[in-house]
A = this chain, B = another copy of it.
């Protein structure tokens, strides 16, 4: 399915999910495509087109049932199951993402922290022990790893990725400033903060 859906649609799905969650929090039970459109600043026809990729979910004259649409988009995003995450590289970014309660709310559970720095190993960060990266294969036998977040310098990333692939990790959240080479059964999502900052500089320069 993913092959046929454009990247732009996939990019918007989490945004829909967030807004629907907010509507649920506010006790809104149904919403017209027009109101959803104003709220999200996306045209109503774009919303219909996006959701039609997955079967629609709206009813003519009724609009969208917020809870139903929220749950269906959640399923499409894979949020109907739990994901265990480990963080490799307990620097500033590693610390930040390992302590972000929003992820836990979405079903992403931080289960392990790894580093190579001897002085960090054995310390605990909000209840999770920092382990030596060499303990990763052993850890993976006892604890399922769904996602590995790489928050380490790019020079270290390649060898760690080989290790992750070898132990069967299929999803990598990559904060390292490099494009990872992985087999086709492994998915990667990049967060390249300095690229983002350069894009902002571009927008600023060309606005």
Contact = CB atoms under 8 A, between A and B. Distances in A.
Contact of A204 (B78, B100, B204): B78
Query: DSSP class of A's interface residues: helix, strand, loop or mixed?
Result: helix
Interface in A124-164: 146-147
Given A147-B204, A202-B76, A18 B195 contact: yes
Nearest to A79: B201
Nearest to A106: B194
A191 B103 CA distance: 15
Nearest to A204: B171
A170 interface: yes
A131 to B, nearest CB: 21
A150 to B, nearest CB: 12
Given A14-B199, A99-B92, A207 B193 contact: no
A93 interface: yes
Number of copies: 2
29 contacts: A2-B202, A2-B203, A2-B206, A10-B203, A13-B199, A13-B202, A14-B195, A14-B196, A14-B202, A18-B194, A18-B195, A76-B202, A76-B205, A78-B204, A78-B206, A92-B97, A92-B100, A102-B194, A103-B197, A147-B200, A147-B201, A171-B204, A185-B207, A187-B200, A187-B204, A189-B196, A189-B199, A191-B191, A191-B193
Interface of A: 1-2, 10-11, 13-15, 17-18, 40-41, 76-79, 83, 91-93, 95-97, 99-100, 102-103, 106, 108, 146-147, 170-171, 173, 177, 179, 181, 185, 187, 189, 191-207
